Amino acid sequence: MALQSIVAIPGNQQPQLVEPISPAPVSAGEVICETVYLGVCGTDREILHAATPHVPHGEGQLVLGHECLARVIEVGDGVSEVQPGDLVVPAVRRPITDLRTEGIDEFKMNRRPDMMPWGAYVERGIVWEHGFSLPRWIDRPEFLYHVPESIKEVAILSEPISVSEKAVREAEQTQAARLGASEWHDNPPRVLVTGMGPIAFAAVICCRARGWDVTVYGRDNDDTFRAGLVREFDATFVNADSLDFTPQSVEEDGFELILECTGNDQVMMQAAGLLAGCGVMVWLGASRLPKIREFDVNQIMRNAILGNHLYLGTVNNAPQDMQSAIDHLGCLNARYGMTIGKMITERVDPADSLWHYTNREPQGIKTIVCYAGLT
């Protein structure tokens, strides 16, 4: 069967398969890519669940797919950065450069795309521009990151890893500004990652690449596949019943860096009790349709003030984070390549992919949709 696109339609929570849009002939400065693999992500599921996809202007559907490994098929005149046959990972977020941004402060428009305000950017497959669940598509070379052949089997994980890279880098840079550059260098932070999904495992990868000790908190039992995978990364797994959220001494038993990847407010509130003095908690997970709940945050505020705690939200990635993700996959390949590969828990064809856009396997981490072979 011919390869189809997976789309989200306003008012419909179910993804649909449609005939793909064919790319126009390549123009000067452009590149034609073919999708090799697509990653299915929590954001895709949330877009569908909310049933209000941000479709491109004047269109009735959004082509999904923002995590992509692609091969360059053809390049237009003047393109020298990539060549046919190269493996690439495309950037998700790009600045809008036309009149649609009228009214947005000019200085905010000059920021890096991941720091731009809503309305100033598109995200392929998420916000106002089609994604990559297409056999072929057009892009510009400045949005493509070259992937070495040595990591081709796991390079589809580059984008989610880059999101965690940004979180870790922002924590590092902020702490360096507050505490001095040598603090985390000479005295590596103890890290707690909350969650066992793809972003949590990506966070483990980013921290292990820096040589940091990592504890992962999740609801799994000790003997599950995912708990085993945490240990394969030489990290410690603690399940929900065994982590003491109110230790006697948070300085002795707490963490300098907490990477909150569940998007669950209750877990976040509990984990806050484990933040050591001058610690930082980065929020990476969020729900698109948050439930309104009431919590007593007084204690957290008091601890944050007295302990110089920092709470940081991060989204998307800077170009350097995508590059770090690709570089770290390369550095870790010898030691953890097999383990990283196990994060890909399911491979499906586009025609069989729809279930994965609305469901998850209980022990699943990343499902990939296979468009073309990796020869």
Residues forming contacts to ligand BGC in the complex (CB under 6 A) are 41, 43, 66, 92-93, 123, 126, 159, 163, 315-316
CB of residue 43 to ligand BGC, shortest distance in Å: 3
Closest to ligand BGC by CB, 79 vs 199, is 199
CB of residue 45 to ligand BGC, shortest distance in Å: 10
CB of residue 58 to ligand BGC, shortest distance in Å: 21
Closest to ligand BGC by CB, 66 vs 190, is 66
Amino acid identity of residue 218, one-letter, is G
CB of residue 47 to ligand BGC, shortest distance in Å: 9
- Strands 255-260, 275-283: pairing kind: parallel
CB of residue 224 to ligand BGC, shortest distance in Å: 24
Q: Residue 42: in which H helix or E strand, if any? A: helix 42-50
Please provide residue 371's backbone torsions phi and psi, each rounded to the nearest 5 degrees: -95, -45
CA distance 328 to 162: 10
CA distance 126 to 47: 8
CB 144 within 8 A of CB 89: yes
Which two tokens mark 338? 């097999």
CB 217 within 8 A of CB 271: yes
Closest to ligand BGC by CB, 199 vs 274, is 199
Q: Where are the alpha helices (DSSP H) in 110-263?
A: 158-179, 182-186, 198-209, 225-232, 250-253
Closest to ligand BGC by CB, 90 vs 254, is 90
Closest to ligand BGC by CB, 175 vs 367, is 367
CB of residue 199 to ligand BGC, shortest distance in Å: 8
| Of 320, 40, 363, 332, residue with least CA distance to 206 | 332
Residues 6+ apart with CB under 8 A from 289: 46, 49, 50
CB of residue 319 to ligand BGC, shortest distance in Å: 13
Closest to ligand BGC by CB, 93 vs 309, is 93
CB of residue 160 to ligand BGC, shortest distance in Å: 6
CB of residue 250 to ligand BGC, shortest distance in Å: 31
- How many CB atoms lie under 10 A from the CB of residue 52? 12
Sheet of 16-18, strand order: 16-18, 5-8, 62-63
CB of residue 315 to ligand BGC, shortest distance in Å: 5
Closest to ligand BGC by CB, 35 vs 175, is 35
Closest to ligand BGC by CB, 126 vs 272, is 126
Closest to ligand BGC by CB, 90 vs 279, is 90
Closest to ligand BGC by CB, 199 vs 227, is 199
- How many CB atoms lie under 10 A from the CB of residue 149? 11
SS3 at position 361: coil
CB 178 within 8 A of CB 203: no
CA distance 34 to 23: 10
| Of 207, 239, 235, residue with least CA distance to 223 | 239
> What is the 8-class DSSP label of residue 54?
B
